[in-house]
Amino acid sequence: MAASTHRPRVFLDVSIGADPVGRLTVELFADKTPRTCENFRRLCTAEHDGLSYAKVPFHRVIDEFMVQGGDITHGDGTGLTSIYNGEAFGDEQLGWRDMDAAGLVCSANKGRDTNGSQFFITLEPCPHLSGKHTIFGRLVAGDETLQRIAKVAVDKNDAPLEPVLISRCGEL
């Protein structure tokens, strides 16, 4: 990585039910996917019209695959908003790296160029998703917290039975 490369770091403090369980720290690949990173960063800091990930759930958990959250508008995976006029925005640098590791932070979408506030974090390599989702960050701290989220009980639709919330978030 070049000395001039700036990769901001943000955090998501997580609670399961009423219990705080830890912090996820994410390094953003702003040098590779600047628009997606800026959307995520501003939603962590509430810099854009008060939109924030604070109090937003991880609404989908599939152990040995991924955890998904960030639906600011509905909290259940059906909503879409962004800092870009509240609308979906395009994919960035698809395929710049493979989904070859746990802890990659990626845009969740409903197809090409439908990115918004929703994101997922991989729990293991997901090569079948390479080139289909914008990879915009990586977990640099909080593996234990991620594993606690991954192990929550879920219903038949992979929704946690107990609320898994981002209690607080921001930039480091």
* Known catalytic membership, residue 146: no
Residue of 9, 48, 129, 147 marked catalytic: 129
Predicted confidence (pLDDT) per residue in 72-124, tens digit: 999 999 999 999 999 999 999 998 999 999 999 999 999 999 999 999 999 99
Q: pLDDT value at position 1?
A: 46
* Known catalytic membership, residue 68: yes
CATH annotation of 9-171: 2.40.100.10
* Known catalytic membership, residue 65: yes
* Known catalytic membership, residue 109: yes
Burial bucket for residue 168 (CB in 10 Å: 0-12, 13-18, 19+): middle
Q: Shortest CA distance to 168 belongs to which of 54, 25, 15, 40? A: 54
The pTM for the full model equals 0.95
Which is more confidently placed, 50 or 101? Answer: 101
Q: pLDDT value at position 4?
A: 53
Domain boundaries, the chain: 9-171
List of E strands, 70-172? 104-107, 119-122, 135-141, 164-171
Residue of 118, 120, 136, 165 marked catalytic: 120
* Known catalytic membership, residue 11: no
* Known catalytic membership, residue 128: no
Predicted confidence (pLDDT) per residue in 121-155, tens digit: 999 999 999 999 999 999 999 999 999 999 999 99
Residue of 41, 59, 133, 138 marked catalytic: 133
* Known catalytic membership, residue 59: no
d(CA 55, CA 1): 34
The residue behind tokens 């059906």 is 78
Residue of 58, 60, 104, 136 marked catalytic: 60
Residue of 48, 65, 148, 168 marked catalytic: 65
Residue of 28, 51, 59, 109 marked catalytic: 109
